[in-house]
Amino acid sequence: MNNKKLLSYHSISGLIAGIFLFILGITGSILVFNTDIDKALFRKYEVHNSPEAFHLDQAISNVQNRYKKWNTRIIHFKKGETFIFNIRKPDARKLVFVHPETGKILGEIDESSHFSKWMLKLHYSLHSGAIGKFIVFFAGILFLISLMSGIILYRKNILKTIFFQIKLKKKNKRTYYSILHRYVGVWALLLNLVLAFTGVFLGYKVAMAGLKKSSISSPPTVEASVERTLQNLKTNQPNFIPEYIRLPSSEKGTIIINGPFKKDPFYYSKYYNKIEANYLTGNIEKVRKTTGQNFLYRFNSTILPLHYGQFAGIFGKIFYAFIGLSGPFLSITGFYLWFKRKRKKKKSK
């Protein structure tokens, strides 16, 4: 394939992806800090003077009694801190805050109006339902094609760009932005490949999930002591760190507890380790460790942490955010270069 045709593929895929990449890059850079943003927004529900309080069973009972027929997940349950429940119906989601000592419901937030959840929905569906999910999925594919074609197209200049051997020439505007486009593209290349690759997989999953009809669930009342189950896990699975609890959505279901094991690689998702307990007795029925599963399961476990930088500290998140913003920059400079090239061809004709 000659360079002219390759440049055409690079430009077309980049231009189409760039329309959506502007939104995806900005929202993705913000979502890297979603836990920090949520912590600031949830500050008004924080409790004080109860450092040892952990009445999770009472909290579960109160939430299930008030929000009947809602699927329930517990996303924060540390001793002495406000419990946070995520409750769901096919057409609605809420965050519910519960006092760790009294079990009293302190307040609730509709996820559709919550900042980080609103941004997340914009990121994966453009707030356009199933159609938006497929648009984001195909935009990810086009961005990946643009990156791969760019690697082949500029392969001879990659090392020169890395070592700053190509000078920025400010006299010619088109040449200046062309070199700048190349610098940003090369220096952000590795992480952009990771973001695009994982984004395509996530986009596919989200798009396929959007085609499924949500069924109305009938969650049973949890009669077992979840506190006792967590205590038993400390003894039976001392290397396990419980961080997420899903209460059963039907009478055939179980309590599912997710979290990392201490020796797990940093890039494994905490949601793929699963410990199942009977919701009537609290007995542990099944333990599924990511490390003991097949390659596909372990591979799927890495996608979410790598895409959102969930394992990264504050400096890692800042780096992720900067690389996320490189996508919008590349789309703008790419459009400018394409437009200039088209104008030059018209003038020559």
> Rounded mean pLDDT of the chain?
88
Cα–Cα dist 151/45, whole Å: 49
Pairing of strands 92-98, 83-89: antiparallel
195: in domain: yes
Start-to-end CA span in the chain (Å): 26
- Structural domain including 40 reads 1-217+312-349
Q: Residue 1 above 70 pLDDT?
A: no
Cα–Cα dist 339/336, whole Å: 5
Phi, psi of 109 (to 5 degrees): -130, 130
The count of structural domains within the chain is: 1
307: in domain: no
Cα–Cα dist 329/326, whole Å: 5
Report pTM: 0.85
- The residue ranking higher by pLDDT, 159 or 239, is 239
**pLDDT tens sequence across 271-282:** 999 999 999 999
Q: Tell me the average pLDDT across 185-205.
A: 88
Tokens for 347, please give them: 């003038």
Is residue 88 within 8 Å of residue 112, measured between CB atoms?
no
Please report where in the chains the tokens 């969650």 appear, as a residue: 219
**pLDDT tens sequence across 124-155:** 999 998 899 999 999 999 989 888 888 887 77
Q: By CB neighbour count within 10 A (0-12 exposed, 13-18 middle, 19+ buried), where does 238 fall?
A: exposed
pLDDT of residue 173: 72
304: in domain: no
235: in domain: no
250: in domain: no
336: in domain: yes
Cα–Cα dist 325/59, whole Å: 41
274: in domain: no
Q: By CB neighbour count within 10 A (0-12 exposed, 13-18 middle, 19+ buried), where does 210 fall?
A: middle
Residues 6+ apart with CB under 8 A from 149: 6, 9, 10, 13
78: in domain: yes
**pLDDT tens sequence across 180-191:** 777 877 787 888
Question: Distance of alpha carbon 16 from its chain centroid, rounded?
Answer: 23
pLDDT of residue 185: 78
Please report where in the chains the tokens 């905490």 appear, as a residue: 270
Q: Tell me the average pLDDT across 325-331.
A: 83
Rounded to 10 degrees, what is the CA torsion of 149, 152, 157, 162? 70
